[in-house]
Amino acid sequence: MNIPGRWPPIYDFESLAAQIKDLVGNHSIFDVFYQGQTLYEPQVCQGDIFQFISPFPYVDSEGDISTTVEGFSNWIIIGNTCDLLNENSMEYTHIAPLFELQENESVKILNGLKSYKSYKKFYIPPWVDKQHPGYYLDFTHMCSAQRGCLENDALVVRSARMGRLSWLLFHSCMVRYLARDDGRHD
């Protein structure tokens, strides 16, 4: 069965857009982005930033596993917390590298990222040096990692655990990306 036309998103677009705008505009999101040094959960959670050096893996046009030349030092956990913590947890979870913004990044690019209007990118403010322009997650650069990698080889950045509002923003932006309309006729 072929259904013509553009397939709509599977969420209420206006409600999600309003929620993202409200979180960014009315809650001073950058002032409360991180929980601080005190962690409410000792385990690894969705939205946690962790450090380990790895190039980004992907399947190339020949169907072979390849990696980028450069290694990324900061990564974020995309997979659900419950998938990591339950007794019968999944063996793999989704992670993504964080791209570091440069000191000379244009104001237009930074303002665009900080407004969270992009479907594909999510701005992550700096957690140590507040003068640093920050990082961004590109949702098109997700990959899988074995849970043991996070337990054995990754160092969770304790000062970079998202607070509740920033996690709601992260989750809203992720849903917007994953469940957007198909755009096949754009």
pLDDT digits (tens, 9 = 90+) for 47-97: 989 888 888 888 889 998 888 878 889 999 998 877 677 767 788 889 999
Please tell me the predicted confidence (pLDDT) of residue 150.
77
- Say if residues 137 and 124 touch (Cβ distance below 8 Å): yes
> Any long-range contacts for 58-64 (C-beta under 8 Å, 24+ apart)?
58/143
pTM: 0.84
Q: SS3 for 100?
A: strand
- Asked if pLDDT for residue 100 goes beyond 90, the answer is yes
Of 156 and 177, more confident: 177
In this structure, are residues 57 and 67 in contact, taking their beta carbons and an 8 Å threshold? yes
Q: Is the pLDDT of residue 178 over 60?
A: yes
Helix (H) or strand (E) holding 76: strand 65-77
How buried is residue 32: exposed, middle or buried, by Cβ count under 10 Å (0-12/13-18/19+)?
Answer: middle
What pLDDT score was predicted for residue 41? 59
Q: Where are the alpha helices (DSSP H) in 80-146?
A: 81-85, 107-114
